[in-house]
Amino acid sequence: MLDNQVIVSSAVSTFNNAALWEPGFLWAAILALPLFALAWIMGHDIFGRFLSNAKTRERRFVFPIVLVMFVWAISHGNFGVIRDGTSLVVILNAIILWLGAIWLSRRYYESGARLSKFIKGKKNPWKKLVDMAAPPAVAIGAGVAAIGAGLDESLLQSGAVAVGIFTGYMLNRRGAREKDPRLLIGVMILLALFGLVMQPEFFRFGQLAHLSVFHLLFLCLTAAVLAAYFAASLVRPRGWFSDLHYGRYKVFMRAAGLFVVALLFITESALAFAIFCTWALSAAALGVLHAKSEEHLKKIKGETFLLLPGLFGILAALPVLTFIAIILWRQVPHGGFLKRIRELL
């Protein structure tokens, strides 16, 4: 006779495995369709209400994207599935937290926003104490979120946030020149994509070696858009290659791309995904080098960046990112977008 507890435990384990294998992120996106429809219908009104100032527009929409990814990296890690103490996915997660903490910390000290403003009384002694304790409390909270996995992971996560907060403070104090924050978001998404492939259970994305076609398709699509954004941002058009040679090159690269995609679908490995990202970046970079004008590249840069948080919001089951992306997408004319992407890739 089988013990009832064993039967129930086996059934729960089977259900959990099936739930991990299914594309849960896709069902979450389908359930969020009413929210996305609201963003599409009310996009112009929301944009006019919160993002009408051109000087502060970029920071206003970058801030919630970085903040949501920062909170996601703290709270969404499933440390119970870590197979060894030196898992690279934990390090990737810590780097995401470090980058997010740098940018958020700099905005915090630059803006002058303080929690003490919510405390009544001008001479209240708690005001200064609350302001001093707020940044360390965030770092401690990040460590507590990983305490169930062990002291090593907890200290790593807490230390990454603490160093990021201190770095942001020093950058603001010295008035260091700030890079494009959209590149920061691109790097954070790239690290998160590798984490999703390396150990999808950690991010509750799927099951290792059992990713569905939908998992892999959305990963490839997001990586290709990210490669196009990096190429349009970091490479300058030079007018290299004749149209004939560039046409032959595109045929070769697309054939190589089919091989790389097939390799990724068969192996589902991080190495195959890295090869795919390298192929996409190479194809996009040479497409930019072949271009003779910067006008359509500026359009590609803006459009691909707007797609990034939307696609990653679907992958990570973060509909608020997709909501923001749809609002921003509604404000830009997109005639010929697919044609420009085909020319680039």
Handedness of CA 327, 322, 111, 174 (dihedral sign): negative
Q: How far apart are CA 172 and CA 167, in angstroms?
A: 9
pLDDT by residue, tens only, the chain of 345 residues: 445 444 444 444 444 555 555 688 889 999 999 999 999 999 888 888 877 776 677 777 889 999 999 999 998 877 777 765 557 888 899 999 999 999 999 988 888 777 666 666 666 667 777 778 888 899 999 988 888 777 888 898 999 999 999 999 999 888 888 888 899 999 999 999 999 999 898 888 888 778 889 999 999 999 999 999 999 999 888 777 777 788 888 889 989 999 999 999 999 899 999 999 999 999 999 888 887 777 778 888 888 998 999 999 999 999 999 999 999 888 876 666 777 777 666
**DSSP 8-state assignment for residue 323:** H
Percentages (nearest 5) of helix, strand, coil residues in the chain: 75, 0, 25
- Cβ-based neighbours of 270, under 8 Å, separated by 6 or more: 194, 197, 198
Q: How far apart are CA 138 and CA 107, in angstroms?
A: 15
Taking a C-beta distance cutoff of 8 angstroms, is the pair 74, 154 a contact?
no
Taking a C-beta distance cutoff of 8 angstroms, is the pair 246, 290 a contact?
yes
Residue 126 three-state SS: helix
For the chain, the farthest-separated pair of C-alpha atoms sits apart, in whole angstroms, at 76
